[in-house]
Copies of this chain bind each other. A is one copy, B any other.
Amino acid sequence: MNKNVPLTTLERFPDYLNYLRELNCAENEKIASGAIAQALGLGEVLVRKDLAYTSCVGKPRVGYVVCDLIAALERVLGCENKRNAVIVGAGGLGRALLSYGGFIKYGIDVVAAFDNDLDKCKTDVGGKPVLHIDELNEGIKKFNAELAVICVPTSAAQNICDKLVKSGIKGILTFAPVNLKVDESITVRYVDLAANLAILNSLM
């Protein structure tokens, strides 16, 4: 959808969006690229280049209309196209994500989790069901889910990934630190929590 936006730019868009939303601006209030740059600790030229990938045009010496810029960023990030996501693996992380309310502001509704442990399937989390992994295919269709988050141990990740793709999932976010083999029509994004702490450590 946004293959013309460089990934590094796209990865900064949520930061811009979070910052602008928190300003709670009035309808016609404006903001200069310099102010955005300073608040986010970025260079002003970079901010202008990034925002040029949205449909919102800033005016010299005036800046961007904040509401318009928010709408433009939301459009690029697909916040308007509501999509459903499921979580596979209802351990600590999976359950934390299932009850986390922060996805909906990007138009993503995390609707259910799946696990192979029947004990974990007994209780809802934040009002959302934890279903048995055997119901994965059926559940994905029932919930009309297009996105999935893999929170299973590394050794099970590829198997789960294959099942998700077979069930029609088009986008996968995985926390398992292993490279998944998928058809190139499937979009995969990796978040390695331990690696993030290690990178922080090595930057100190």
Task: Give how many copies assemble into the complex.
Answer: 2
Which residues of B are found within 8 Å of A76, using beta-carbon distances? 202
CB distance from A120 to the nearest CB of B (A): 13
Interface flags, A79-112, vs B, CB<8A=1, else 0: 1010101000001110111011011011110000
Instruction: Indicate whether A129 reaches chain B with its CB closer than 8 angstroms.
Output: no
> Is A193 in contact with B191, judged by CB distance below 8 angstroms?
yes
Interface residues of A in 154-179 (CB under 8 A from B): 170-173, 177-179
Instruction: Indicate whether A201 reaches chain B with its CB closer than 8 angstroms.
Output: yes
The residue among A11, A39, A78, A146 with the most chain B CB atoms within 10 A of its own CB is A78
CB distance from A33 to the nearest CB of B (A): 16
CB-nearest residue of chain B relative to A149? B197
The residue among A2, A77, A197 with the most chain B CB atoms within 10 A of its own CB is A197
Quick one: given A14-B195, A99-B92, are A187 and B171 in contact (CB under 8 Å)?
no
Instruction: Indicate whether A1 reaches chain B with its CB closer than 8 angstroms.
Output: yes
CB distance from A57 to the nearest CB of B (A): 20
> Is B14 in contact with A198, judged by CB distance below 8 angstroms?
yes
Additional 11 contacts, C-beta under 8 A, given A106-B198, A108-B194, A191-B191: A1-B202, A1-B204, A10-B203, A13-B199, A14-B192, A14-B199, A77-B198, A93-B96, A103-B198, A107-B198, A171-B204
